[in-house]
Amino acid sequence: MIRFALLGDPVAHSLSPQMQNAALNQMGVIGEYTAIQVDAKSFERVVEELREQKFVGANVTIPHKELAFNIASARDEASTELHVANTLKFGDEVECINTDVPGFLAALGACDPGTALVLGAGGAAKAAVWALANEGWSVRVWTRTPEMAHSICIWDNVVAVETPDVGDCDLVVNATPVGLKPGEVPPANWAQLKEGAVVFDLAYRDEPTDLLKLAANAGAKVIDGREMLVEQGALSLEWWLNKTVPRDAMRRAVGLS
Ligand code: NAP
């Protein structure tokens, strides 16, 4: 039996265990993926215990992605650039990678670079902004706490904006938690969405968010955050198992067709 964990606080709501266990099942791997709630002061101890118990690796979610980066002694380029990691592998040493970045780009799919607006300036926004800037997008960042935008506007082609104006944007990414609850839509002048724009909502529920419904009705192409969830999880599993991971069972497990 090979074992994996999700470490975060809270983790009870997470779709990752059902998604990763569905992949293990479909692959015929005798394994188990469990969510473990852990607070910041216990994080290092719990990681050590998992290593001793021969867990293969762990995904890491809010609020421990920075701790995960700090604990690792070998890191990939994306985690090194962003100072946050969402995947740990346990062996003689603890290694980390950031699969949010390639997971975001895989979910975005083939899309000619243009002007993007990213709402929010937390960990997910940082991954999206870096990924887009590297792909040649001109990126605007809006956040309700202006000081936070400056910690993210550190790459070429990334600027802070004072208002969440979607009017001339080819891509709008919601990287705030607004939309996790029914009835919530992130602040922006959505009625001004440009024809043919793409709206990518990183906040996800077990059905499309209100923002995705609104954007689809306005004729936009929409991308559900569960697409990124599946991709980042599959990339973690591929790194741990060194095998290609089929996406279909994972997609079904999170309610995507
Ligand atoms: P985070 O680090 O806590 O950052 C949240 C950001 O949203 C901050 O900039 C925060 O601004 C802003 N914000 C919070 N409430 C807001 C409101 N009411 N109005 C406007 N802005 C608000 O969180 P995160 O890790 O970046 O995650 C953000 C969202 O992405 C979450 O819903 C998470 O579940 C989702 N996510 C999805 C995936 C995926 O695979 N689909 C991966 C990672 C994250 P302040 O600094 O002003 O509070």
- Give the chain's mean pLDDT: 96
Binned at pLDDT 50, 70 and 90, residue 33 comes out as very high
Write down the pLDDT at residue 58.
98
Q: Residues 225-231: what's their mean pLDDT?
A: 98
Question: Do 128 and 72 sit in the same domain of this protein?
Answer: no
pLDDT band at 39 (very low <50, low <70, confident <90, very high): very high
pLDDT(234) > 90:
yes
pLDDT at 148: 87
Number of independent structural domains in the chain: 2
For ligand 1, which residues put their CB under 6 angstroms from it? Answer: 62, 100, 120-125, 143-145, 148, 175-178, 180, 202-204, 225, 228-229, 232
User: Do 171 and 200 fall within a single domain?
Assistant: yes
User: Rounded mean pLDDT of 23-41?
Assistant: 97
Residue 62 CA to ligand 1 center (angstroms) comes to: 10
Q: Are 31 and 63 in the same domain?
A: yes
Atom of ligand 1 nearest to the CA of 177: 32
Angle (CA) 117-173-66 rounded to 5° is 105
> What pLDDT, on the 0 to 100 scale, is given for residue 142?
97
Domain at 36, CATH number: 3.40.50.10860
Q: Are residues 126 and 222 in the same domain?
A: yes
Question: Is 65 a residue of the active site?
Answer: yes
The continuous run of DSSP H or E covering 223 comes out as: strand 221-224
Which domain range does residue 41 map to? 2-98+228-253
Widest Cα–Cα separation across the chain = 55
> Which one from 41, 54, 65, 243 is the annotated catalytic residue?
65
Query: Taking 90 as the threshold, does the pLDDT of residue 227 lie above it?
Result: yes
Residues with Cβ within 8 Å of residue 142, at least 6 apart in sequence: 117, 118, 119, 120, 149, 160, 161, 162, 163, 164, 188
Closest ligand 1 atom, residue 204 Cα: 41
